[in-house]
Structure 1
Amino acid sequence: GGAYTREHFWNSPELKAMVAHMSDEDIDLMQRGGHDTDKVYAAYRSAIKHTGQPTVILAKTVKGLGMGGSGQGQNTSHQQKKMDIDSLRTFRERFKIPVSDAQLESLDYIKPDENSPEIRYLHSRRQHLGGYLPARSRGSSKLDIPGLDKFSKLLESTGDREISTTMAFVRILSTLIREKSIKDRIVPIVPDEARTFGMEGLFRQLGIFAREGQKYQPEDSDSLMYYREDIKGQVLQEGINEAGAMSSWIAASTSYSTNELAMIPFYIYYSMFGFQRIGDLAWAAGDMQARGFLVGGTAGRTTLAGEGLQHQDGHSHLHASMIPNCVSYDPTFAYELAVIIQDGLRRMYQEEENIFYYITVMNENYAHPEMPKGAEKGILKGLYLFNKSAKDDGKTPTVQLMGSGTILNECIQAAQILESEFGVAANIWSATSFNELRRDGLDVSRWNMLNPKSKPRTSYVEQCLQDHNGPVIAATDYMKIYADSIREYVPSRYVVLGTDGFGRSDDRMQLRTHFEVNQHYIVVAALYALVDDGSLDAETVKKAIKMFNIDIKKPIPDRL
């Protein structure tokens, strides 16, 4: 207050004499430099005109100015949530705010008239600066997206040739950059090791963007697909900088609303170095209604052999599930990937939905079958019947094996063992997205709760499984809670296998044995579920454990 300022600021005989004619109230109303708009303006104007050296402006201020006893001059003013009525009255008088005592009690919001000098000034300054922020433009045009037929090669069987889903992704990308209608809108983004993902062909085809072009001779300049930088390059090679690469992706994925130019960014990276490292940025992307594709490469806890726990991702789909407008998939086969990406392009760039995609791909090679007839809907919904057992006759003990990513292949092998060694029928389901299945179930549950007199709706999971008897065994390369998220909607006994625990440096076979998600553990889980259902006796499970040489005393993997 004024008395304190007189005592501690005007603290010499000469200074005290200068304010001797002023009351304590007058002194309290004197503006410090940092609170005086004229002084602040004059300081900035002087600084702008000053040349030849940096300029520093020192502004004297009082913390919580005007808050009275509730916070003026107190460190606690930063945490102050409200002011008492006396402090509010002091604040009103200090700043001459036109509110009555009654309005102080109700804390009415006071806004100057639209034609007042203050409001006119604010509007004029904002117009001078180019308009209001934040602002979202709706001027971008819909894109001409190729149909699924453009990816026909990926819908066919690879025969004896084994490829990874990462290779399939690169083929899809190569197809898209040949499409005249969208080729200039494609933005491939790689933070590191493009060759790991088989993307070096894009170096020659599109070039790597460099603002000043190629300024050095790359080490691989004598190879066909050398590291070619170009001022017109289209690939963003960000170096080992996931935050920077994600920021570039956000800029491209929101370009439709900021520049009225829809771009199609594909950011591919080691999946472990995605959400876990840039989770805040991914959440911000959702908040900004980004549109584009995040592609988690070498995904899953057991697919990247020999690199240890720092690379082995078993939880990125859990992170993805936290972002409301992130649509995530864990496909196994090339045709699933093609269907998902084509439909994502349609939804984001034709229907203009404000969503973005997270898709996991692997570097594990295996043969890919032809797409089953009519599978498209199930692929997009998150679940479809990949293969119905010939032994499923209503009398034979039957299980439903459900898998995603590379672990679906373990389910396929487990089904063969169950049928040939134990006489159990095993139907195989490809679960491309447990997250989408859960969201569908939550929507149905909510509708049923709010419409109690209407005929209850049925979740997509229940629709798929209602005519298929026997326990359901789900196995993924992710933590058990991922597949467990649909438990509420599974109409029969449900057993989940997953990769809880830290990763370790070993080959794929050993890792899947360690985490207990390989074909043998799937068989044992299926047999035990049938024992619980009364369809088999426990001796069958004991026989399987002995057949597969399973060490029942080995450490529990999710404790390591």
Structure 2
Amino acid sequence: ETAVVVRDGIARMYGDDPQDVLYYLTLYNENYRMPARPDGVSDDDILRGLYRFRPALDGAAPMATILGSGSIMQQALRAQELLAERFGVAADVWSATSYQLLRNEALEHERWNRLHAEEEPRLPLVTRLLGEAGGRGPIVAVSDYLRAWPDLISRFVPGGSWRSLGTDGFGRSDTREALRRFFEVDAESVAATVMAELARCGQIDRQRAAAAARDLGLDADAPFSLTH
């Protein structure tokens, strides 16, 4: 993803026909083996802001969708495995390479629809991509940044359940694992959130969701990061 974005930025800013644009790329300092590009994913898929990174594992139901970005994707993928292997829940994992691009495109379509009320409404990319997902189960977005970042697209996502997880709160110093558990963005917290949202949507009972959270080692009485 980084290589695709950097190459595109160089071409647009310094190519044969330079454009008046600025590229701002944020990376996270975590060492892990970079995954291969999924089959069928093009440069355009990456550059437009959202693509399906790994489909749901076979043989599991009910359904959910997890959005991740950058290094937090490792937690999203692990949550996908936990949900399938331990709780019989299938979850697609999508990579959100730019929430800002998705929002800008959605706002542009929203404006066009407002000014062309007599025309067939245009659907934003994020609405088209996640339309089916929103109709069959909850969508959980996880970020190493504030919840407000994935929430940029929340009102353009169809369906009845959107939940974002992020590192809202005061700066802390600890291991990466401890901090992700504190801010509830580790794999176990993501999986537990999916289970809770499935219960809220009526797809599983609340007792099953609560049991899953306990099984994943979450402390229901842990302090909220925004106030501690």
TM-score (norm: length of structure 2): 0.94
What is the CA deviation profile of residues 212-255 of structure 1, one whole-angstrom value per residue up to 9, with x for unaligned ones?
Answer: xxxxxxxxxxxxxxxxxxxxxxxxxxxxxxxxxxxxxxxxxxxx
Could you tell me how far apart the structure 2 residues matched to 1:497 and 1:436 are? 20
> Larger Cα Rg: Structure 1 or Structure 2?
1
Tell me how far apart the structure 2 counterparts of residues 519 and 472 of structure 1 sit (CA, whole Å).
Answer: 15
Please list, as runs of the form range in 1=range in 2, the aligned pairs for 1:302-381 lying within 5 A after superposition. Answer: 336-350=1-15, 351-372=17-38, 373-381=40-48
Residue 152 of structure 2 is aligned to residue 470 of structure 1: no
For residues 122-181 of structure 1, give each alpha carbon's deviation from its aligned partner in whole angstroms, at most 9, with x where no partner exists.
Answer: xxxxxxxxxxxxxxxxxxxxxxxxxxxxxxxxxxxxxxxxxxxxxxxxxxxxxxxxxxxx
- 1:249-328 equivalences under 5 Å are none
Equivalences for 1:31-430 in 2 at 5 Å?
A: 336-350=1-15, 351-372=17-38, 373-391=40-58, 396-430=61-95
Task: Tell me which amino acid in the other structure corresponds to 2:208.
Answer: T
Provide the secondary structure at the position in 2 that maps to 1:365: coil
Corresponding residue for 1:498? 166
Question: Does structure 2 conserve the Cα–Cα contact (< 8 Å) formed by 1:392 and 1:426?
Answer: no
Once the two structures are TM-superposed, the CA of residue 392 in structure 1 deviates from its matched residue by: 7.0
Structure-1 separation of matches of 2:202 and 2:216: 23
SS at match of 1:402: strand
Residues 1:451 and 2:110 aligned together: no
The answer to whether the 8 A contact 2:196-2:210 is kept is no
CA distance in 2, matches of 1:517, 1:392: 26
The code of the aligned residue for 1:542 comes to A
What root-mean-square deviation, in Å, do the aligned CA atoms of Structure 1 and Structure 2 show?
A: 1.4
Contact conserved, 1:392 with 1:398, CA < 8 A, in 2?
no
Distance across 1 between alignment mates of 2:192 and 2:139: 13
Aligned to 2:149: 482
Match of 2:203 in 1: 535
Structure 1 contact 375–384 (Cα < 8 Å) conserved? no
Structure 1 residue 467: Cα displacement: 2.8
Task: Render the CA deviation track for 1:412-454: whole Å, top value 9, x for unaligned.
Answer: 0000000000100010000011111111111110111111111
Per the TM alignment, residue 505 of structure 1 is displaced from its structure 2 partner at its CA by 0.8
- The answer for unaligned runs of 5 or more in structure 2 is none
User: Could you list the per-position Cα deviations for residues 352-384 of structure 1 after superposition, in whole angstroms to 9, with x for gaps in the alignment?
Assistant: 221111111222111112112333222111100
Label 1:377 to 1:545 Cα distance change in 2 as closer, same or farther (>3 A).
Answer: same
1:474 is paired with a residue whose SS is strand
Q: Distance in 1 between matches of 2:129 and 2:109?
A: 15
For 1:471 and 1:375, the matched residues in 2 are separated by 27
Whole-angstrom CA distance in 2 between matches of 1:413 and 1:544? 15
Letter in 1 for 2:190: I
Aligned counterpart, 1:165:
none
d(CA) in 2 for partners of 1:371 and 1:548? 30
User: Aligned partners of 2:205 and 2:183: how far apart in 1?
Assistant: 26
Q: Structure 1 residues 404, 392: closer, same or farther in 2, change over 3 A?
A: farther
Identical-pair percentage:
37
Q: Distance in 2 between matches of 1:536 and 1:542?
A: 11
Q: TM-score scaled by structure 1?
A: 0.39
Q: How many equivalent residue pairs? A: 223
**Distance change >3 Å, CA 341–CA 392, structure 1 → 2:** farther
Structure with the larger RCO, 1 or 2 (CA within 8 Å, 6+ apart): 2
Structure 1: which amino acid aligns with 2:29? N
Q: Report the alpha carbon displacement of residue 549 of structure 1 after superposing the two structures with TM.
A: 2.2
